[in-house]
Amino acid sequence: MTPDPNNGRLLANRYQLVELVGKGAMGRVYQAKDMLLGGVTVAVKFLSQTLLNQKMRDRFEREATICAVLGEQSIHIVRVRDYGVDETEIPFYVMEFLQGDSLSDVLRDRPLSVPRFLNITRQICLGLQCAHQGILLDGELCPIIHRDIKPSNISIVQDTTLGELVKILDFGIAKLLQSDSSQTNSFMGTLAYCSPEQMEGRELNNRSDIYSLGVMMFEMLTGEMPLMAETHSFGGWYKAHHFVPPRTFESVNPDLKLPKALESLVLSCLAKAPSDRPQTAAQVLQALQPLEQRFGQGRQLGQRIGAVLSKLPVVAEPKPKHLPSADEVCRLTSWPKNKPIAEIVFPHLLRTSQESLATLWVMLHKQEIHNRVISTRYNQFLFLMSPHPMLLWITALYNRELGPRWLSCYLDLKTPMGQQMVRQLGESGCYRILFFALEEPPRCANVMTSTIAPLQRQMLQEWANTSQTLVSAAQPQMSKSLLKQEFEKLKPKILIKLESIQTSDYSSDISG
């Protein structure tokens, strides 16, 4: 076999290509090493040379932008980290490298058990819900429709904290639902999973993805397709999706015993008319919730307990499942692979099974983390409406012997991530500071909680609402520079306030 000439190639003086790991109609995907970050493994996707026209380049660039924003909003969508054009003018983008199996690989062995099906489907729906709710592009909220939901576009990876983590891949043929869109309605998708309206080339909304999800849900539970085309052609599948009723679960497998509510949900997603399907991913999640309570976590917990008890000589009453506290969840987190091992600060909305937590992630030397455990925590927020809505989130850790340690980051209030974080800070009234040691980077070394004063909370909510109606008049960097100048002016006043606090308990918590 002829070796791939790209193997070993250094792309953009940063990404060393290792091997080809996938290819499709839109392009080729390589495993690569990010040499700037010490060889961190990433995936690099190139646009297919057969698609090298300006329209497809624009589509590819839009795909990178969409995925970058969506990946920040949901852990169930693959994250994009970089975008560029190589020396031969072929566009590429860099995304997280997922070490796991595609759902299509999983289904080759056997259909899914009901508990596993519920867990995977819930995560897919959460990712779709995020995309369907839309992202802000040029100040406009644009819903994103995937248009190619199928098992090969679903990746299942093992996460040390969450267990099986599901991610949706390839929003490459997503279409922005913008009223002024001038794109053609040419057919794109995978025939067996296409909704009737997609095959007609009609304008699509989220209900088309729900139809594709229904096809996939049937396949996940039975290992079979709900519809069979007379011929594997556009005409054959057009007829199947429009006029052939989906097969029943009993006709596929008479021994398969499923809850009637689950069968009804799957078949409702497969309705020919969009109005007869669940109208949103949230409605599918709502229908899954009672089934998960019955078959999901409780059954999995029972199976684990049963396995343990079978090895014991005596029978003991199983203890109820302990739900970890917010601080315990924080301590179980790992330093992201896409972040450098360096003294940096960044915000992150940490989603748990019970709630969303506003968190500030900090990497310092181990000794400084130890020294800062006893500190006065101070926070303040500076907001700038113009030229671009931007918020500077300031945290100071003050110790009489060591002085202040300034932790600051920016939140762009024209992005969904910035909006969500600001609203969460205002609603919860607190945030966690997660410390990671440079010497031992993978695991969280310590967690602190910082509370936000009621007036600050109210202002955060008002700023989030105000920024939605504002129009950006310049690049975000200009607002960042202005806020940084204000911060430097403010530092001496904050220090005076911190030094004036006469208390023996340096672990107090104050807001500006």
For residue 434, which of 443, 425, 426 has the smallest C-alpha distance? 443
Q: How many CA atoms lie within 13 Å of 479's alpha carbon, on the beta-carbon side?
A: 22
Q: Are strands 430-437 and 356-364 parallel, antiparallel or unpaired?
A: parallel
Strand-pairing partners, residue 158, are: 164
- Are 350 and 433 a contacting pair, CB within 8 Å? no
Long-range contacts formed by 301-305: CB under 8 A, 24+ apart: none
3-state class (DSSP) for residue 345: strand
Contacts of 97 (CB under 8 A, 6+ apart): 31, 32, 41, 42, 43
For residue 476, which of 412, 384, 382, 383 has the smallest C-alpha distance? 412
- Of 148, 170, 209, 412, which residue is the catalytic one? 148
Fold of 100-177+190-301: Transferase(Phosphotransferase); domain 1 (1.10.510)
First to last CA, the chain: 66
User: Cα(197)–Cα(175) distance, rounded to whole angstroms?
Assistant: 14
Return the axis-axis angle of helices 54-73 and 416-428, rounded to nearest 10°: 10
Cβ neighbours of 345 (radius 10 Å): 16
Q: What is the pLDDT of residues 308-347, one digit of tens each?
A: 544 555 444 444 445 677 888 888 899 998 899 999 999 9
User: Cα(437)–Cα(229) distance, rounded to whole angstroms?
Assistant: 57
User: Cα(257)–Cα(253) distance, rounded to whole angstroms?
Assistant: 9
User: Cα(278)–Cα(284) distance, rounded to whole angstroms?
Assistant: 6
Map tokens 């987190």 to a residue. 333
| Residue 112: pLDDT over 90 | yes
Contacts of 484 (CB under 8 A, 6+ apart): 392
Q: What is the pLDDT of residues 221-240, one digit of tens each?
A: 999 999 999 998 999 999 99
Q: What is the pLDDT of residues 393-440, one digit of tens each?
A: 999 998 888 889 999 999 999 998 999 999 999 999 999 999 999 998
> Region 381-395: what's the mean pLDDT?
92
8-state DSSP, 191: G
- pLDDT for 45 equals 86
Average pLDDT over all residues of the chain: 84
User: Cα(214)–Cα(193) distance, rounded to whole angstroms?
Assistant: 9
- pLDDT for 191 equals 92
Whether residue 148 lies in the annotated active site: yes
Token couple for 235: 């005409």
> Region 270-299: what's the mean pLDDT?
87
Q: What is the pLDDT of residues 55-86, one digit of tens each?
A: 666 666 776 777 777 777 888 998 888 888 88
Contacts of 237 (CB under 8 A, 6+ apart): 191, 192, 194, 199, 229
Cβ neighbours of 139 (radius 10 Å): 12
Fold of 10-96: Phosphorylase Kinase; domain 1 (3.30.200)
Strand-pairing partners, residue 137, are: 140
Determine whether the annotation assigns residue 167 to a binding site.
no
- Are 169 and 155 a contacting pair, CB within 8 Å? yes
Backbone phi, psi, residue 202, to 5°? -80, 165
Q: What share of the chain is helix, strand, coil (3-state, %, to 5)?
A: 40, 25, 35
Q: What does the DSSP assignment read for 380-440?
A: EEEEE-SSS-EEEEEEEEEETTTEEEEEEEEEETTSHHHHHHHHHHHHH-EEEEEEEESSS
**Would you list the domain boundaries of the chain?**
10-96, 100-177+190-301, 336-511
Token couple for 189: 């998708």
Name the band, by pLDDT with cuts 50, 70 and 90, for residue 508.
low
Sign of the alpha-carbon torsion through 262, 267, 269, 275: negative
- pLDDT for 507 equals 46
Secondary structure of 88-145 in HEC code, one letter for each residue? CCCEEEEEECCCEEEHHHHHHHCCCCHHHHHHHHHHHHHHHHHHHHCEEECCEEECEE
pTM of the model: 0.57
Q: What is the pLDDT of residues 341-369, one digit of tens each?
A: 999 999 999 987 778 899 999 999 999 99
- Are 44 and 92 a contacting pair, CB within 8 Å? yes
Name the band, by pLDDT with cuts 50, 70 and 90, for residue 381.
very high
Sign of the alpha-carbon torsion through 341, 344, 348, 354: positive
